[in-house]
Structure 1
Amino acid sequence: MNPSRPFTVLIVDDVPVVREALRWLIEDEADLRVIGEAGDGLEAVNRAAELLPEVVILDVELPGLDGYEVARRLKEMPQPPAIVFLTVHSDAPARQRAFTAGADGFAEKGRGWLTLIDQVRLALAGHSAE
């Protein structure tokens, strides 16, 4: 991908150190730019409505609204972002639930950051990784 400007990213995870690591990882990519973070589900929905990111990296386990409900709400936005789930839950039911909720990509925590970046780029290109 070689956009004329970086794609905008919202990071959603309830663990601050994970958000910090993701920000560090993404800021190293010329075609991606972090425009915001959220630490719970409701904050994620509100920040997405305010910032209009092109992609949201979303954890499943969040205080308040879980990641699945956040994804459903984001997909109802007039210009819905691509959604890539980043989670420790990698079993088939978790994947299916994520894609049913509106995921465009899915990456497992601990499987390597490059997998996440690949999933983000595929989601932005409109290719579901289901």
Structure 2
Amino acid sequence: MTIRVVLTDDQPLVRAALQMVITDTADIEVVGEAEDGAEAVRLTAELAPDVVVMDLRMPGMDGIEATGLITAGTGATRVVVLTTFDDDDYVYGALHAGASGFLVKDMALDDILAAIRIVAAGDALIAPAVTRRLIKEFTRPVVSPPRWSELDGITAREREVLTLVGRGLSNTEIAGELSISIATAKTYLTRLLAKLNARDRVQLVILAYEAGLVATSQ
């Protein structure tokens, strides 16, 4: 099945580079290009792509607002953001808006293609090394009360798993930390997603931080 993508960036050269490499792949197709957030929202409604690759800093409607509007819709379109590691305020905002992961602009093009495939498959681009760096760099002190009430329905073991997810551990690392099988770790993650009504692993990371399970200074 071909993954349908909308590219959103106010820099034509960035879109052209991505378009060029995607043209050479058999399983990914660019169905639209947008130069700002408003156009990305319009194209998403019109074309229903699988993935929107979203820049954050754009004139007019930025990537955070556009991401929020897209993920709040009834469609299955997922968003990965294009970022650089100086986008402090933008990246945390994009996480809250519902982005499923990050593409760093200086990543190898093959890695960007792999990231698109991961997100299109319903997972999140939340590789442990990336998670730890993003959280350390970008997580700001919580300005709203911790969302403890949302954790009332989870077990003590599920809370342990959620804490480890927040720390950026992979399923394999979680299994090792808790002396359980990888399959069991995956089962706990599936339960957490359902109980906490989380879209993906990225949102579990956010919830872990907002609930105070992981300190922002870690």
- Normalising by the smaller structure, the TM-score range is 0.7 to 0.9
**Which amino acid in the other structure matches residue 98 of structure 1?**
A
5+ unaligned residues in a row in structure 2: which ranges? 127-218
Q: Which has the larger radius of gyration?
A: 2
**Residue 195 (structure 2) aligns with:** none
Please provide the CA RMSD for this pair.
1.7
The one of 102, 107, 111 aligned to 1:106:
102
Please say if 1:82 is aligned against 2:84.
no
Identity across matched positions, percent: 37
CA contact 1:9–1:55 (8 Å) conserved in 2: yes
Return the structure number with greater strand share. Answer: 1
Contact 1:83 1:105 in 2 (8 A): yes
Normalized per residue, the structure richer in helix is 2
Structure 1: 5+ residue runs without aligned partners?
none
Equivalent residue letter for 2:6: L
Task: Specify the SS of the correspondent of 1:117.
Answer: helix
Which protein, 1 or 2, shows the higher relative CO under an 8 Å CA cutoff with sep ≥ 6?
1
Instruction: Indicate whether 1:97 and 2:93 are aligned.
Output: yes
State the aligned residue count.
126
Q: Write out per-residue CA displacement over residues 57-104 of structure 1, whole angstroms, 9 at most, x where no aligned residue.
A: 110011111101100000122213111111223667654332221111
Residues 22 and 92 of structure 1, relative CA distance in 2, 3 Å threshold: same
- State the distance in 2 between where 1:123 and 1:13 align: 19
- 1:94, 1:118 → 2: CA distance? 23
1:10-89 mapped onto 2 (5 Å cutoff): 10-89=6-85
1:111, 1:90 → 2: CA distance?
15
- CA gap of 1:92–1:65, structure 2 versus 1, over 3 A, is closer
Greater shift in the superposed pair: 79-88 or 91-100: 91-100
Compute the displacement of 1:115 (Å).
Answer: 2.0
**What amino acid maps onto 1:14 in structure 2?**
D
* Distance across 2 between alignment mates of 1:92 and 1:62: 15
**C-alpha contact 1:122 1:128 (8 A) present in aligned 2:** yes
